[in-house]
Structure formats: structure tokens, C-alpha cells
Structure 1
Amino acid sequence: MDNQSRHIVIAGAGHAGGSVAAMLRQLGWREAITLIGEEPIPPYQRPPLSKAWLTGQATAESLALKPVQFYSGAAIDLRMSCRVVSINRAEKTVALSDNETLAYDYLILAMGARARRLPLPGTDLAGVLELRSAADADRLKAALNPGSRLAVIGGGYIGLEAAASARALGAAATIIERESRVLARVAGPILSNFFQSFHHARGVAIEVDAQVAGLEGTGGRIVGVRLVDGRLIPCETALVGVGAVANDEIAREAGLSCETTDQGGGIVVDLASRTDDMAIFAIGDCTRRPLPLYARMGRLESVPNALEQAKQAASLICGKSSPLPEVPWFWSDQYDLRLQIAGLPFDAVDIAVRGNLDAAKFALFHLTADGNVQAVEAVNAPTEFMGGRRIIARRKRLTRAVIEDMSVSMQELAA
């Protein structure tokens, strides 16, 4: 592709959209770029919202992807408080929420995901919150005061991070999880049990195997979460964190291929982040993408995925070499713990434990039957995380015995 086309429209100004706009300029695109974002503020980092932002350790300036003057300086037309509402592929135009129509030569869909809603009574009560945006985080932050009570519905990473932040601010926190352990859908039992014990020791109440029947209120405001077994978990604030659904509706309506099963949706793309329309790309949380290391498709909700797909799309549009596929990775900060995850544990049948769980410094290596390392979960063990990424990328086979032998350095394991 050449870069003499007239106009690139980017639908969505989150981490993916803001990053791809900057990368297009960095890779030499000199023509028009319009970046359209639904929020009233420029692109910003979302991971700190459940951590440093809640506890007051981050500022609006530190969250911003770029200083606001970057966009005008780079000749990027940033449209805030606006969104793309439909795509006309035949005419190569998009309709905006302000009734304007824009023509595009390339369209990049970076619309992210939204919180999954619970089909339960009481979810419209005041004090029932989700955590996807800076405005959501501000509402939660205002509610977390010494002596206040937070109920977190869903024991995933966002819920655990929010509970840790609540405790740091002096609020009580109860996690309500329908599965038999926290992190049940994203981590193995060893890591789940470690985090569950760590939170318990810091005063977080955790209810597992707990089904929510509804949310109850007085005067329009939540007073508690009612469980199916009849118990009421009293609270002034409830955070619902039960997963996310891809914002793929306008892509579906335009006839683009999207995930059709109940897996949170997602616009189907190739390894260059192209949809089945060669003029339309999709990146970030709204996509279902190839995972070449694992020979399958999947949806990855992470900043590294957003950045990788931004590079893929910008490189192809600007006629640059395609970047090599990366090992997926993720992170979570809770209290003084830094969890770093490399890879995905598909087809793993065994786990090697390297380090000391009691000292909160260890790594879990997920192994296939023939010794391939599929994923590494590292707690306060950055060397194991970095070495694990290299091992996964090289498809190196290791035995549990050699991984668990601390006399063998990570440098030797990853060599």
C-alpha cells in the first residue's frame, strides 16, 4: 500500500486508537487523520484506573497517552465527545453522532469493549458502578472513604484491584464470586488460592460459590447485594466486574465478520489487523484475532495487544514490514504485588512452581504434555517473566524438574 490516500478515520480514541494515530505519523503517513473519541478527554491509559488513580497516586496528566497539544502539532484532527454510529462500505463513509458524514480511504475501528451487564433487579440503583472509563473511576473514587463499604461482584483482576485500592483507602471490601475461587476464568488454582489468601489477610471478605439474586436499595440508592441463599451483603457502593463485551455493533451492521458465539463478541481480523474489507482495520479490545503461537483465534483485552495491533495496522497502511507476532502478556498490581503474565495456558497439563509462594516471589510455568511452556504467571518475579516470554516465543521445551531447580538461572533456562 502507498500512503498517498486522502484520509484515515479512526473510530475510538482509547489506548488503541490514540496509539495507532501516533504510530501512523511516526511511520510516515502525511495525509489526513481524524481520531474520533466518545469521551470528553484525549486518549489516556486505563489500567491505572483501578489502582493508582483510585488511591490518588496518578494524575490526569500522568494518565494521558500524549500531551493534548500533541494532536494539533501532529495534524491529527481529534474529535472528542463524538462517535461513529454507522459505516457505509460502498461509499466509504462513516456517519457521526453529531450528524456529520466523513469519507475515508482507510477506516480503523478501535471501539474497545463495554462492561457486561447483569440481568438482575436493582442494577439501576445509585451507587451501582462499573469501571471502564475515567468517569467511572472518579465515581468509584468518590465513594471509597474510611468506613465505607464496597461490594465487588466478580472476582476477576479488575475486582481484585479495586478491592485492594478500597482497603488502601480505609474502606471495607467484599468480593462476591459465583465460581469456587477468584480468578477462576483467567488463572489456575495455585494462583487463585494465593491471591485469595493474600486478600483475606488484608481484610477483604471473599464469598465464593455465591450467586447474586439482585441488588437492593432504599430511596433509590443501593444498601446491599442479595445472594440466592438469602443473605444480604450490606454496602453503600457495588462494583460490577463480570467481564466485558466487544463494541462490535457497527461492524456487524456493516456486514463485517464478527464472532457469533457467546464469547464477548469481537470483529474478526487477520495478523495485519485487517477485517474482511481491505479498507477497514480493527484493533484492540473490540477484535477477535489470530493467536499464531497457539494456532487459534481469541480476544485479548490488554494494553500490549492494543499496541501490537496498532503497529500491525499502521505498518501495513504505511507500506512498512509487518512486525513479528508477539507473545501475549498482561499485568496486575495489587497491594505490593506485581503479577506479570506471559502467554496463554492453552493445552497445558502441568504446572512447575519456581520460587517461594510463602515469600510472594514465584513464577508458575504452564507446560504441555511434551514440555512446551505455554504461559508463565510471575508474582514479584520480573526475571522469570522476561525469561518466560523468551522461552514461549522460542517454543522451548523444559521439564518441571529443571524449571523448579533454583540453582539453574533464568538466563540458562531461556538461553
Structure 2
Amino acid sequence: MTEPQRIVVVGAGLAGATAAITLRERGFDGEVVLLGREPHRPYELPDLSKALLLGDADAPTWVAGESAYAERGIDLRTGTEVREVRPADRVVVDDRGGELRYDRLLLATGSRPRTLPLPGADLAGVHLLRTLDDSLALREALRPGRRLVIVGAGWIGCEVAAAARRHGTEVTVLDVAALPLRNVLGERIATVFRDLHAEHGVAWRLGTGVRELAGEDGRVRAVRLVGGDELPADLVLLGVGAAPRLELAERAGIRTTGDVPGGGVTVDAALRTSAPGVVAAGDIAAHDHPRYGHQVRVEHWANAKDQGAHAAGTLLGEDTPYRASPFFFSDQYDLGLEYRGLADPDRDELVVRGDPASREFIAFWLRDGSVRAAMNVNSWDHGDTLQALVDRQAAVPADRLRTGDLASLL
């Protein structure tokens, strides 16, 4: 395989920036061009709904220092949106019509927040949360006594609710589901989060949908529900998930799939797409995961970081499968958690070590007697052991997970 002279990375989020930096760390001395839509240098997303929104930080966690890209010889071009990829010509075209040739290309275009086709969704005071600017604007709006309605009881909705309560904002969270986080954690564990937020003054409106957002003088004033109820609102957050940015790949004729939630760019075990010389990583990658035997698309921080680093090796001609298990974390009030693996709460057996009511416990999800996922809540002593159990899909009797010495299970 011919050594590449120029590698172009489309997407200056965590996956793309990590790939660019890793290329230099691996000794690649050709051109590295990193193209990003936003005006900011690359940053990590978790702070946007955590430390930054809480007011504990005034800047996100930057992927690297301001001078790090120039020092590494990485041509970082912020405020640049790629409009077209032409794999046959090995060219990308930016929003100003400029053409840039590549020998290898990484697509790391990330996700956009989903919206709802609601009357009033364009009113002032209606927020999305995906970018640094989104987070700063929402933080500025969170004031004591203001009324925030959050549409969506997923991770973003729950974390924003916790931050808003810190600021003294009144919060109502609504969702068509019967419990927050139900699709990820199942009913028993989801009740822990419902009760946690209720204790901190969050009002729940579950099992109902939104009909429209009502406004006055161009600003949102109420959320009208399907059943006819109306919730007063000074602010609304639409937190109904994210959609991968697949348009570039689709227009380029690169294979995509609808077999994963939200769709994705089809990549093999090493993250290669159907187009020669083109790799994809992060939120958009529907990865042929060797651990699970099917395509997996993950939107979390660790996946972006780890796949970005792995993609660098693939861009340099390596053929190593990406095997990492999904990982994410969340902080809400005084509850912190880490989740490892990939479970289906409607299919898998839940095994709990400790008492969920105490909010210090470990949950395991087993399939056919093997550990498919583990989540530690306010329990920080067994992270490496949990990771190993999940990575090995270890076969462990449920009683030993509940009461046995965890380290001995390895």
C-alpha cells in the first residue's frame, strides 16, 4: 500500500481531533488537514451538560491546547464546512468551493440534535444542546424562578434538569415513556433516577407527548400536551436525542445502513468504509463489532476518543479490529455512574449488587449467563474488574455477582 502524503479529516470534534493528533504521535510526517464546522478549536462534549452548564467551569475540556495543532504541524481549519466528497477523485469540496485532494480521508462528522416538527419550535427561548455555544446560551438563561420544560427524559434531559435545579430554575420533564432512561436501564433502575430528580424538585410528566409550543411576542410561553394540558414555560429544551450526520457519505455514494438506530456509515471491523481510502469514526460509524457480531453505533465520549485513535492506525494502513466495549458516564446531583458494555434491558437479566434505594450499587445485565453490561453507581472501587467482566462477557452465576468477591471472578 502506498504511503499517504496527505490525510484529510472531516470533522473537528473529539474523534477527528484525536485521530489527527494520534497520526503525529504515530510518526506520520505527511500533511494532516483537520476541517471543522464550528469556530472553536476541538473540544469534548460531556462538559456541555455537566461542568459548563452547572457553572463549575467557564470553558469546555479542550482536546488539546490552543497552540498544539500548529506545533504538531496539523492544519486546523475551523469555520469550514465540507459540502462534498468525491471518492473517485479523492477530493473534498468546502462551502466556499475550495477543493482539497487527499490520499486518505477520515469522516468524523458527528451528530446533530434531533428536533420535533412542532408548531412554535422556532420561538425564542426554545433551546437545543449540542455545541459549546448552545451550552453557554442555555446556562445564561437558567435563572432562579424561571420555568424550564424539558422534552425528553434521556441522559441529556436528566443532566440538564440537574443543572437547572442547581441554578434555581423550576423544572418539568416530560416524555412519552413511562420512566426516564427506561430504554437503557430498564424499569427497576430507571425508578432510581425518577425518584432522585423528584427529591430535588423536578416535576415529571411521563407517558405523554407534546402537541405544540405556544408563544407570545415571538417568545415561548407554554407547552401544550397531547391530552390538552398546558405547562407554563419561560424556556424549553428539546432533548430528544441526536441524529448522525450522514449526508456527506450518502451524497458520495459511501454505503450507509438503517440497521442501527438512527442509521450510520457502514464500516468494517477496522473502521474502513466502502470507499477506498476512506475511514469513518465516532457518532456516524456503524461498526462491524467483533465482540458483538453485529453492527454497533455509539454516540458517547469514550467511543469518539478511542475510535479516533484507532482510525489513525487504519489510515496508516493497519488492519487491526476495533474491539473496545462501549463506555459512558453521567453525573446528576450527588449521583455519579459509569456504564460499560451493551445491554438490552427488555431481554437481559438484571442482577443488582447492593441496594438501589441507597444510590450506591452495581447493576449487571446478563444474557445467557454472561455479563453483557455493568453500571457502577456511587461505587468506584471495581472499575477495572467490571471492565474485564464486560470485555470477556464472563459467565458468572448471578448469586456470585450479588454477594461474591468481584476480583475473584476473573
Partner of 1:345: 343
Query: Is the CA contact (8 Å cut-off) linking 1:361 and 1:380 kept in structure 2?
Result: yes
TM-score with structure 1 setting the length: 0.95
Q: Is the 8 A contact 1:383 1:410 kept in 2?
A: no
Counterpart secondary structure, 1:163: helix
What amino acid is aligned across from residue 225 of structure 1 in structure 2?
V
Paired residue secondary structure (2:358): coil
Look up the SS of the partner of 1:311 in the other structure. helix
Show CA shifts across 1:362-407 (max 9, x none).
Answer: 0111111x310111122112234432210121221111111111xx
Question: TM-score, structure 2 length as denominator?
Answer: 0.96
Q: Residue in 1 aligned with 2:18?
A: 19
Can you list the C-alpha shifts for 1:144-189, whole angstroms capped at 9, x where unaligned? 0111111110000000000000001111111111111111222211
Distance in 2, matches of 1:227 and 1:50, equals 26
| 1:117-156 → structure 2 map (5 Å cutoff) | 117-156=115-154
Task: State the distance in 2 between where 1:251 and 1:321 align.
Answer: 22
- Choose which of 407, 410, 413 in structure 1 pairs with 2:406: 410
The aligned amino acid for 2:406 is M
Aligned mates of 1:202, 1:142 — CA distance in 2: 21
SS in 2 for 1:326: coil
SS of the residue aligned with 1:114?
strand
Task: Kindly state the Cα deviation for residue 72 of structure 1 after the two structures are TM-superposed.
Answer: 0.6
Alignment of 1:218-229 (within 5 A): 218-229=216-227
Partner of 1:44: 43
Partner of 1:280: 278
Question: Higher mean Cα deviation, 73-82 or 339-348?
Answer: 339-348
Give the match for residue 57 of structure 1.
Answer: 56
Matched to 1:373, the amino acid is V
C-alpha distance in 2 between matches for 1:137 and 1:252 = 30
Give runs of aligned pairs for residues 91-102 of structure 1, distance below 5 A. 91-102=89-100
Deviation at 1:75, TM superposition (A): 0.7
Question: What is the match of residue 231 of structure 1?
Answer: 229
Letter in 2 for 1:202: H
Q: Report SS of the residue matched to 1:85.
A: strand
RMSD between aligned residues: 1.5
Please name the residue that 1:9 is paired with: 8
Matches within 5 A, 1:310-329: 310-319=308-317, 322=320, 325-329=323-327
CA contact (8 A) 1:256 1:275 kept: yes
Aligned equivalents of 1:58, 1:256: Cα separation in 2: 40
Give the AA of the match of 1:329: F
Q: Deviations over 1:48-86 (max 9, x none)?
A: 1011001221232x5211111001101111111111110
Distance 1:275 1:37 in 2: 21
Quote the residue 1:245 is aligned against.
243
Structure-2 residue corresponding to 1:390: 388
CA distance in 2, matches of 1:74, 1:17: 15
* Letter of the 2:78 counterpart: M
Percent sequence identity over matched residues?
A: 37
Partners of 1:95 and 1:317 in 2: CA distance: 20
What is the CA-CA distance between 1:236 and the residue it aligns to? 0.9
Q: How far apart are the structure 1 equivalents of 2:260 and 2:291?
A: 24
Distance 2:123 2:260 in 1: 27
Q: Could you tell me how far 1:323 is from its partner in structure 2?
A: 6.3
* Matched residue, 2:106: 108
The residue number in structure 2 matching 1:212 is: 210
Secondary structure at the aligned position of 1:118 is classed as: coil
SS at match of 1:223: strand
Task: Say if 2:260 and 2:297, in contact at 8 Å, map to a contact too.
Answer: no
> Hey, which bits of structure 1, 4+ residues long, moved more than 6 A?
none
Query: In the TM superposition, what is the alpha-carbon distance from 1:214 to its structure 2 partner?
Result: 0.8
Equivalent residues, number: 409
1:270-305 CA distances to partner (integer Å, 9 max, x unpaired)? Answer: 121110112111110112112322221121001111
CA distance in 2, matches of 1:35, 1:14: 10
TM-aligned CA distance change 1:263 to 1:320, over 3 Å = closer
> Contact 1:36–1:83 (CA<8 Å) still a contact in 2?
yes
Contact 2:47/2:61 (8 A) holds in 1: yes
Instruction: Name the counterpart of 2:30.
Output: 31
